[in-house]
Structure 1
Amino acid sequence: MIKHLRQSLPIGLFLLLYSSLFASVNNADRERFSVVHPKPGDVLHVTDSTFVFGNFSLPCDSVTVNGLPAYLFPNGTFLAMIPVAPGSLNIHTEFKFASGRFQEKRNVFIPTHLFSSPHKNILIEGSFIYPDRPLAVNPGERIAIIAKGTPNAHMYFSFGEGRIYRMREVNKKRRMRWKNTSFGLDRSWYLPSVDGIYVGYFIPKPEDAGNQFRTLLTLITDSEEVISIHNENEIYVRRGNTPIRKEIVKPKSLVDYKNKRFLLTYLYPGAIVTEDGGYGDYSRITLAEKETIWLPRDEITTSVRSISPIDRKTSRVDVKYSQNDNEHISVDIMATYPHPVQVAQSRNLRYYDVFFLQAEDIPPFVRETHSTPLLNRISGKMVAADKYRLRFKFDRRMVWGYELMHDGKNYALSFKKSPKRESLEEQPLKNMVICIDPGHGPDNGAFGLTGINERIMTVDYARKLKALLEKQGAHVVMTRTEDTGLELYQRTQFAEANNSDLFISLHFNALPNGVNPMKIRGTSTFYFHPHSKPLANMIHRHMLSQTKLPDKGVHAKNFSVCRITSMPSVLLEPAFIMQPYEEMRILNPEFRDAVCQGICDGIVDFVKAYD
């Protein structure tokens, strides 16, 4: 028929009729076929392969992605793993069905620095150069200079005044790791496992103080081809290696992990700190010997207090026992001036350490007697030249959390006792307030093959969990009930404003690009502070007994909603939303009921165990 029309109609009319006919077919079919991931224009940080998944409402005989067959699943979804290459990647998905076929095309980008540079062309890749922002350093500090270019060549860096430094090509199998050496926000850096990564080091001399250096990178091949580029991010060498005193203007809490314990550092407005370096828009702050943090420059300032002399040898930290009631054990701590403070819990939850930084020569003390049998000892002593430790020792595990507050000069530390509840077997959670946080919203979170997302499904599960907990006598509050939601920091504030006893954040798990969803599945539970671990273990065990999914473990992770200290807080991932078979279960109301029953049973057993 098409051939007959082409012969009998003028070519212009034929093309118009042909294009309009197939445009209408494509528009109708487009609603029946969907590629959920990746989105058009996505930047995928993968090195060998990525997954492509979506769904179809018209029965398909096959689905191919870039010519490779996809897995098809009973619920009308598909999943394919395709190889990738650096640069722009076209993804061509073809659906074949009884009456024809439908094609969908989109484009994504794969960063070039994740792949070895070509051997044939001489180049230095401007997208992978370190420093990647301006630096302010002290004389004597070791600074890494890093660049990516043609493999098996010779690379040098210089500053244009005669000093030339050789760089070495890193063995890609070693996956070199460095921390602090690179002067980068105290984070660990991993070089991509590719050929052509060159590393050198610059140690400023005392005579370099006050100067700015711009790095010139030069690469020379064995055939004597030469290429050079400038790194526009300058290195400034500070004068005199003298720290600059600054005042904290915004409250801040930061997390660190030392000696197998998480440390939570509190910075209150008015605290004086020392600045001794910079990295882009961040200042390097020294809190104590060998302890540094990075703060945005707008969170510190030069003030009258910061430039006034402080005699740290006259500083004092005095402890006054203030209150013991049915809900809290409270201690007032009076300090001569605001200190940066760190809090660490022991893993057995029998003692809490509070460190006052930038302190000197504070005398030790021990206090054994108190009006409560729970807190049986408070002791204080200098544990470093500039660090004073208060230790609060209890005669049982303190699992319900703590709060540290500051009024501008003095500190109030409050340890929470077990919530008062009536011993009713029918309603074991009576008088308890539980905050449920349906993860995400307004953002979508992770997607499944059918197109569902965490934002929608977590609310559905939260409503069911709320009903189960209320049957056990709990008063339940939710951070959201619709699509809209609070910012992460507002969710824990909401829980505290409602005097919650527990915080439960519901999510569904996902996988990074390049990981095959067919091979990883199961149930995971996360917490942060040691006092939340007993709740995490109890809920996790009951979820597994209900879901029968593989055990992906209980893990300590620095998630924002888990950092709240005033109550046990957990983040739950009952299943993987992008795992095809687990997504089918997530959509099943029976699975939802089983998951929520497991969470509820875990909470009940936790409360009974730590009453």
Structure 2
Amino acid sequence: MRKISSILILLIVAGLARSAPQIDLVYPPEGADIGPVSWSFILGSVTPGSQLSVNGRKVEVYKTGAFLAYIPFDPGEFIIQLSALDASGIATLDRKVKVAAGKKNIRPDSLCILHGSINPNYKLSLPAGDRLYVSFQGTPGGKASFSVGRGRGRVMVEQNASTEPDDKVLAFSDSSTADTTVVPGIYGGSCLIRGDEGWESQRIYFYLVDREGNSVIDSTGPILSNWDDARQVFAKVKDSLAVLKTAPDLGYEMFLPRGTILQINGIHDQYYRLKLSEAKEAWVKQNSLELFPAGKIFPAAKLVLVKTAREPRGSQLSILLSRPSVHQVFPGADGRSLKMVLYDVRADMDWVRYDPADGFVNDIRWRQVDSRTVELEVSLAGKLWGYSTAYQNNNLVLSLKAPPAINHKLPFKNLKIALDPGHSPDNGAVGPLRTLEKDINWQISQRLGRMLKKEGASVLYTREGSEGAGIYQRPSRAAGWKADILISIHNNASPDGANPLLNSGYSTYYYQPYSRWLAETVHRQFQKTLPLNDHGLFYGNLVLCRATEFPSILVEPAFIIVPREEALLLDGVFQERIARAIFIGMKEFLLKIK
């Protein structure tokens, strides 16, 4: 009898413990700031077998208990209400997030300049010849103007502008059409900077007058100063690597090593604008540079001589300059040429000296593109495998690599393959069951590494286990190890606003022209092997893809945020299929090398 009572007590306790299903909302987290979206996704898990609704909408629950839903969002403080039901009871969960407001229609019977709509909204310092562009959103149909300080007003015109497309959302959908909704009340204006205005930390004011003559003034505009180009402000890179952008907070332009000398000719918020040539500029974070004392100048460098030298696997170009300069290399799409651009350089040379023993470089031509830019065009006798540049005092050394000798019976034998398990110390994307992308990436990398070692390759992992590695350290480690190929392994997630229920699956990314064939052969194997959607082959301006010393690609075999794909990624058999697909794609790539 006592034994039966104990069993009953245990059953009652177990029943109480399961009084309601469990709800775990993984994304978005509490208090998250979400961009100006009207629809977006949420993900998490409930007790398997539960019925789930989100804000009154029924949501499908995968057999593991994972869920992914695409729901409407409203701007401002927004509450996501979840309700889960199973035989044991009902559970609810509320999650508060903040959704940014997009451009919205303003009633014509109001009079306002919309708070937060002023652009730019940061400190500016502009040189003579630049044009200042400003805009804001306000009541439609008015007369708008702006002034620098309390100076004369400058006319602004109502633009009736379309909403700006979100490139990330477009990249994660099958649509090639951006939202072209026209928003009235967007006013824009500009003025040419003469340089003699005497502006020093002047506030920009905005004015709007309605049809009845009522007016409103906004004094929260940016601070503007004249940049004195006569100062010729120079700085040098103080970090191990400076990241130059195409514009503040936009895409990568180039990476520069410590000690590179740069000329500054403007300030935009946290960025310096760099004058690379008469026609080219770039942007770099201010904290990456160390300013030289006022008055310190660096005349344009002189290009004196170019000569070649044979290397065991390729060729080396020595480019003699009077001082180090900023440079970029652009490999040709034909795989047998490249162009090097030297900024703030004037050519003062009559010869290119060729090493008779060097059979890799066919021809070198140079031209002065403008008063501060020189281009070198190099044609090659064979396919380019990779390149690197480095300064030895004032000598810029460009090393050009030919493909390795491939044993067609054992194509991986003696090759050095760098595998980059994406992320860590950050988690990367997180699945509905809280599966960490960094862990899956490491598991797939190990499986691929074992296959490669079995075929005679040496393998370097850019990080092992839970070890952390910075994004710029990873290609540097591979290059320092003298890798022949770099494969970066990730798994995907969508940006806010995209619908991963419609767009998921595998994708492959490359940047350098000589990496494209490797990306294509691996992607074809994904198409043959993985039971998922084809998310696409991408040219990707990504750090790991931009590695120059060897063919390098980044793969995203699945979307870890999609319940079915997360379940597959947790399956060792599926991980093996991914690794095998990459392995076979690499092998096909190597066997095409002559």
Specify whether residues 430 and 479 from structure 1 end up closer, same or farther in structure 2 by C-alpha distance, changes over 3 A only. Answer: same
The residue matched to 1:379 in structure 2 has which SS? strand
Aligned to 1:18: none
Shift of 1:402: 0.7
C-alpha distance in structure 1 between counterparts of 2:337 and 2:322, whole Å = 25
Specify whether residues 308 and 143 from structure 1 end up closer, same or farther in structure 2 by C-alpha distance, changes over 3 A only. Answer: closer
C-alpha distance in structure 2 between counterparts of 1:453 and 1:138, whole Å = 48
Shift of 1:135: 0.5
Shift of 1:324: 2.2
Specify whether residues 253 and 372 from structure 1 end up closer, same or farther in structure 2 by C-alpha distance, changes over 3 A only. Answer: farther
Specify whether residues 272 and 439 from structure 1 end up closer, same or farther in structure 2 by C-alpha distance, changes over 3 A only. Answer: closer
**Match of residue 320, structure 2, among 327, 330, 334:** 334
Shift of 1:263: 10
C-alpha distance in structure 1 between counterparts of 2:392 and 2:354, whole Å = 27
Aligned to 1:486: 469
C-alpha distance in structure 1 between counterparts of 2:369 and 2:16, whole Å = 72
Residue 83 of structure 1 pairs with residue 72 of structure 2: yes
Specify whether residues 70 and 155 from structure 1 end up closer, same or farther in structure 2 by C-alpha distance, changes over 3 A only. Answer: farther
How do residues 67-466 of structure 1 correspond to structure 2 at under 5 angstroms?
67-117=56-106, 122-173=111-162, 175=164, 194-222=183-211, 225-231=214-220, 233-239=222-228, 241-242=229-230, 244-250=232-238, 252=241, 265=254, 267=256, 271-303=260-292, 307-308=296-297, 310=299, 315-325=302-312, 327-363=313-349, 365=351, 370-398=356-384, 400-420=385-405, 423=407, 425=409, 427-466=410-449
Give the conservation status (yes or no) of the 8 Å contact 2:330–2:339.
yes
Give the letter aligned to residue 189 of structure 2: G
Aligned to 1:32: 22
**Match of residue 505, structure 1, among 481, 488, 492:** 488
Aligned to 1:575: 558
Specify whether residues 301 and 193 from structure 1 end up closer, same or farther in structure 2 by C-alpha distance, changes over 3 A only. Answer: farther
The residue matched to 2:433 in structure 1 has which SS? coil
Give the conservation status (yes or no) of the 8 Å contact 1:329–1:416.
yes
Shift of 1:161: 3.3
Give the letter aligned to residue 131 of structure 1: P
**Match of residue 64, structure 1, among 30, 48, 53:** 53
Specify whether residues 361 and 543 from structure 1 end up closer, same or farther in structure 2 by C-alpha distance, changes over 3 A only. Answer: same
Specify whether residues 92 and 25 from structure 1 end up closer, same or farther in structure 2 by C-alpha distance, changes over 3 A only. Answer: farther
Give the conservation status (yes or no) of the 8 Å contact 1:242–1:276.
no
Give the conservation status (yes or no) of the 8 Å contact 2:310–2:359.
no
C-alpha distance in structure 2 between counterparts of 1:243 and 1:288, whole Å = 17
Give the letter aligned to residue 475 of structure 1: S
Shift of 1:439: 0.9
Aligned to 2:509: 526
C-alpha distance in structure 1 between counterparts of 2:319 and 2:347, whole Å = 17
C-alpha distance in structure 1 between counterparts of 2:15 and 2:350, whole Å = 83
Q: Point out where structure 1 has 5 or more consecutive residues left out of the alignment.
A: 1-23, 178-189
Deviations 1:244-271 (A, max 9, x none): 14142336565789xxxx9965645555
Give the conservation status (yes or no) of the 8 Å contact 1:263–1:344.
no
RMSD across aligned C-alpha pairs, in angstroms? 3.0
Give the conservation status (yes or no) of the 8 Å contact 1:158–1:217.
yes
Aligned to 1:45: 35
Specify whether residues 395 and 366 from structure 1 end up closer, same or farther in structure 2 by C-alpha distance, changes over 3 A only. Answer: same
Specify whether residues 549 and 465 from structure 1 end up closer, same or farther in structure 2 by C-alpha distance, changes over 3 A only. Answer: same
Shift of 1:429: 0.8
Deviations 1:108-128 (A, max 9, x none): 001124544566654333323
Give the conservation status (yes or no) of the 8 Å contact 1:436–1:505.
yes
In the superposition, the TM-score normalised over structure 1's length comes to 0.84
Give the letter aligned to residue 128 of structure 1: S
C-alpha distance in structure 2 between counterparts of 1:537 and 1:96, whole Å = 46
C-alpha distance in structure 2 between counterparts of 1:128 and 1:30, whole Å = 46
Specify whether residues 233 and 595 from structure 1 end up closer, same or farther in structure 2 by C-alpha distance, changes over 3 A only. Answer: same
C-alpha distance in structure 2 between counterparts of 1:26 and 1:214, whole Å = 65
Specify whether residues 175 and 33 from structure 1 end up closer, same or farther in structure 2 by C-alpha distance, changes over 3 A only. Answer: closer
Specify whether residues 115 and 448 from structure 1 end up closer, same or farther in structure 2 by C-alpha distance, changes over 3 A only. Answer: farther
Deviations 1:332-374 (A, max 9, x none): 2221221211211101111121222222243454567731322
Give the letter aligned to residue 49 of structure 2: P
Deviates more, 1:509-518 or 1:432-441: 509-518
C-alpha distance in structure 1 between counterparts of 2:118 and 2:136, whole Å = 5
The residue matched to 1:129 in structure 2 has which SS? coil
Specify whether residues 30 and 476 from structure 1 end up closer, same or farther in structure 2 by C-alpha distance, changes over 3 A only. Answer: farther
C-alpha distance in structure 1 between counterparts of 2:19 and 2:381, whole Å = 69
C-alpha distance in structure 2 between counterparts of 1:565 and 1:34, whole Å = 43
Sequence identity (%): 27
Q: Point out where structure 2 has 5 or more consecutive residues left out of the alignment.
A: 1-13, 167-178
C-alpha distance in structure 1 between counterparts of 2:426 and 2:259, whole Å = 36
Extract structure 1 runs of 4+ deviating beyond 6 A: 24-31, 190-193
In the superposition, the TM-score normalised over structure 2's length comes to 0.87
Shift of 1:490: 1.0
C-alpha distance in structure 2 between counterparts of 1:30 and 1:498, whole Å = 55
Give the conservation status (yes or no) of the 8 Å contact 1:362–1:382.
no
